[in-house]
Amino acid sequence: MSLILPVDGVRARRQRFAVTLWLSLGVLLVVALWAIFPAIFTHQDPLIGDPLQALQPPSTAHWFGTDHLGRDIYSRTVFGTALTLKATLFSVAIALVIGATIGVIAGYVGGRVDQLFMRVIDVLMAIPNLLLAMAIVTVLGFGTLHIAIAVGLSSIATFARLSRGEVLRSKVNLFVEAAQAGGVSHLTIIRRHIIPHALAPVLSLAALELGFALLSVSALSFLGFGAPPPQPEWGLLVSEGRNYIAAAWWYTSLPGLMIVLAVLATNRVAGFIQDRSEEA
């Protein structure tokens, strides 16, 4: 009996993990479809409302209720997905490309180049990411694109550190030393021997950073740095409802719940990807 219980416990735990993984994939699929085909999921206009229907609670006519101008909050949440998701993906792409490039160059070249790059990265890591993003977007100006750039630049250090470590680990392999001894160019060695071995951990980090980027984009939008009203954006929807939270809880809570679900789903899928990459 003592041998069966642990096995059953492990099996039950794996089943729970599988259920949460499939639920997370379902949430991300819905978010992706909202961003690509928003008109399929709602017939309400996200920009035009009926003042007579202002601050109506959730119902069959308005699933997420209405805002202070009578606009359908569900429709605004659906149509706001595209702006938020584009900014999130673009920010992660910026951080991935720039950070990984810095890490690969620093790790492979070494010496003073490595020291210079890493001191800059140390300075970036000493500043909280959200604070750094706020400083950058203040310089660039308001707008969803500028938010994406700011969040991406503030996340460069994480990718640079990881990619540098992977390059240092791959650089001491015998096949890399053999390629160097055989006169193979440095660019060819990096492209054929270094990057393929460092790619899996960096992509796993990119998947994990999606959740952080989504939170950062929504936070900056909440603070007013994003798209100007009446354009719908997830963080902006939460910000608009904060003055009505006592009388209309759904105004802030339901768009905020979508942010929470998307971040949790992203982290769950990222954890699964990371586990599989470590097993491989």
- Residue 19 is assigned to a structural domain of this protein: yes
Q: Among 93, 91, 69, which residue's Cα sits nearest to residue 140?
A: 91
Better-predicted residue by pLDDT, 78 or 200: 78
Q: What is the mean pLDDT of the chain?
A: 88
pLDDT above 90: residue 37 = yes
Q: Cβ(205)–Cβ(159) under 8 Å?
A: yes
- Which of 154, 278, 148 lies closest to 218 in space, CA to CA? 148
- Enter the pTM of the model: 0.88
Residue identified by tokens 């938010």 is 147
Instruction: Specify if 1 maps to a domain.
Output: no
Distance CA 258, CA 62 (A): 16
Q: What is the mean pLDDT of residues 219-246?
A: 91
Is residue 39, in this structure, part of any structural domain at all? Answer: yes
pLDDT at residue number 1 = 43
Residue 4 resides in a domain: no
Q: Does residue 5 fall inside a structural domain?
A: no
Pairwise CA distance, residues 100 & 159, whole Å: 6
Within-domain flag for 264: yes
Residue 2 belongs to some domain of the structure = no
Q: Count of alpha carbons within 13 Å of 114, Cβ hemisphere only?
A: 13
pLDDT at 21 over 80: yes
The CATH number for 51's domain is 1.10.3720.10
| Structural domains of the chain, count | 1
Is residue 61 included in any domain, yes or no? yes
The pair of structure tokens assigned to 48 is 């035009």
109: containing domain: 10-279
Whether 273 shows a pLDDT value over 60: the answer reads yes
What is the crossing angle of helices 234-241 and 73-109, to 10°? Answer: 130
pLDDT at 278: 64
